């Protein structure tokens, strides 16, 4: 998978188009810019591949769906804040992609300011970051800066970049230490996330139903299914769960999201700790079809730890 060292420079989608693919094995889109948490997870997993920053999650997903890149890495779920619903919904409603692997990253949030504002940071007039990052630091921001407006950005690194490009503004960003270094900011408060156990899951998406190599993974196969229940039957969810229960197929996550067809209409995203190729899973899929469920499988994949303590 990893064939050639490219250094650390990421490229924009425009540059990807302008260049030919011949030198690189994989072009990988990620939620950028450089030094976002998604970048850290991507770089740790694919240190030598061609990394392409995208400004938003839909842009990452469209880049791989349209074949502009081979893989895309997007955040899926945070231990404190829960699912990144934009990713879930986009995968259900807009794209037809597979998960080739899941990356786990330990998340540490810091408050950082422009060096020009070092003496004034206690009087900041705005805190910039990704909404998930701001939510992970809710208690800290509420008790320490309750009067200060929170400004949402497309990523934590985008916030750090904005603070770096606006030295005259007395504002702060919430993000990781790599972003502080990359954008020349000063960390004024470390580890401001509300709970110590803070991790994020990222999906590595592809157009092909393929898997990253199992050798470096945690070894447990996981299959993600998106299930729409038949509308005309009571107890349908109970029946769906019993399909897995009596086969002793463990579920590690179940979440409902709006179908966007009317109030009370949902689809369910279910993670099953099994390979979709094993007979028990094949039987489960057949039984779900017999129950009248629509099932979209995102494929079977393995989990990779991208930081020591993840
Ligand atoms: O903003 C970033 O740096 C991201 O990579 C996005 C994101 C997220 O969507 O949850 C990823 C990890 C952290 O939980 C906070 C933000």
253-263 per-position pLDDT tens digit: 999 999 999 88
Please indicate whether residue 224, judged by its CB atom, sits closer than 6 Å to ligand 1. Answer: no
Please indicate whether residue 128, judged by its CB atom, sits closer than 6 Å to ligand 1. Answer: no
**pLDDT for 9 beyond 90:** no
181-208 pLDDT tens trace: 999 999 999 999 999 999 999 999 999 9
Distance from Cα 192 to the centre of ligand 1, integer Å: 15
Question: What is the sign of the dihedral through the CA atoms of 292, 294, 298 and 299?
Answer: positive
Please indicate whether residue 31, judged by its CB atom, sits closer than 6 Å to ligand 1. Answer: yes
Distance from Cα 217 to the centre of ligand 1, integer Å: 22
**pLDDT for 90 beyond 80:** yes
In this structure, of 25-29, 58-62, 102-106, the range with the lowest mean pLDDT score is 25-29
Distance between CA atoms of residues 53 and 40, nearest Å: 12
Exposed (0-12), middle (13-18) or buried (19+): which is 40, by Cβ within 10 Å?
buried
Q: What percent of the chain lies above the pLDDT cut of 70?
A: 91
Distance between CA atoms of residues 65 and 213, nearest Å: 22
**pLDDT for 12 beyond 90:** no
Return the pLDDT at 21: 45
- Span 214-228, average pLDDT: 93
Q: What percent of the chain lies above the pLDDT cut of 90?
A: 84
Return the pLDDT at 5: 32
**pLDDT for 272 beyond 80:** yes
**pLDDT for 20 beyond 70:** no
Q: Within the chain, which residue ranges are assigned CATH 3.40.190.10?
A: 13-106+198-209, 110-189
Superfamily of domain 13-106+198-209: Periplasmic binding protein-like II (3.40.190.10)
DSSP 3-state of 286: helix
Looking at domain 222-301, which of 3.40.50.300, 3.30.720.200, 3.40.720.10, 3.30.70.260 is its CATH number?
3.30.70.260
Q: Within the chain, which residue ranges are assigned CATH 3.30.70.260?
A: 222-301
**pLDDT for 159 beyond 60:** yes
**pLDDT for 41 beyond 90:** yes
Exposed (0-12), middle (13-18) or buried (19+): which is 38, by Cβ within 10 Å?
buried
Contact of 190 with 112, CB cutoff 8 Å? no
Please indicate whether residue 133, judged by its CB atom, sits closer than 6 Å to ligand 1. Answer: yes
Distance from Cα 36 to the centre of ligand 1, integer Å: 7
Write the CATH number of the domain with boundaries 110-189: 3.40.190.10
Contact of 78 with 136, CB cutoff 8 Å? yes
**pLDDT for 16 beyond 60:** no
Return the pLDDT at 208: 95
Distance between CA atoms of residues 117 and 126, nearest Å: 13
């Amino acid at each position: 998978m990893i064939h050639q060292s490219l250094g650390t420079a990421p490229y924009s989608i425009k540059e990807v188009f302008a260049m030919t693919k011949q030198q690189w094995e994989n072009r990988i889109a990620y939620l950028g810019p450089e030094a976002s948490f998604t970048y850290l997870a991507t770089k740790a997993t694919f240190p030598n591949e061609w990394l392409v920053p995208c400004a938003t999650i839909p842009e990452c997903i469209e880049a791989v769906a349209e074949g502009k890149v081979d893989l895309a890495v997007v955040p899926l779920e945070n231990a404190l804040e829960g699912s990144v619903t934009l990713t879930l919904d986009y995968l259900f409603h807009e794209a037809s992609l597979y998960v080739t692997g899941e990356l786990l990253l330990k998340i540490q949030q810091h408050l950082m300011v422009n060096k020009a504002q070092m003496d004034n940071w206690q009087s900041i007039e705005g805190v910039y970051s990704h909404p998930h990052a701001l939510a992970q630091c809710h208690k800290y921001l509420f008790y320490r800066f309750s009067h200060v407006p929170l400004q949402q950005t497309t990523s934590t690194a985008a916030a750090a970049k904005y603070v770096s490009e606006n030295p005259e503004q007395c504002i702060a960003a919430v993000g990781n230490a790599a972003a502080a270094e990359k954008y020349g900011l000063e960390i004024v408060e470390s580890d401001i996330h509300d709970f110590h156990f803070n991790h994020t899951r990222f999906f590595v998406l592809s157009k092909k139903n393929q898997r990253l190599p199992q050798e470096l993974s945690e070894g447990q196969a996981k299959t993600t299914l998106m299930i729409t229940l038949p509308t005309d039957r009571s107890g349908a969810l109970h029946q769906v769960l019993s399909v897995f229960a009596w086969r002793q197929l463990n579920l590690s996550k179940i979440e409902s999201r709006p179908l966007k067809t009317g109030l009370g209409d949902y689809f369910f995203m279910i993670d099953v700790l099994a390979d979709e190729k094993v007979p028990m899973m094949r039987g489960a899929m057949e039984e779900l079809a017999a129950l009248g469920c629509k099932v979209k499988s995102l494929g079977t994949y393995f989990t990779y730890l991208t930081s020591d303590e993840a």
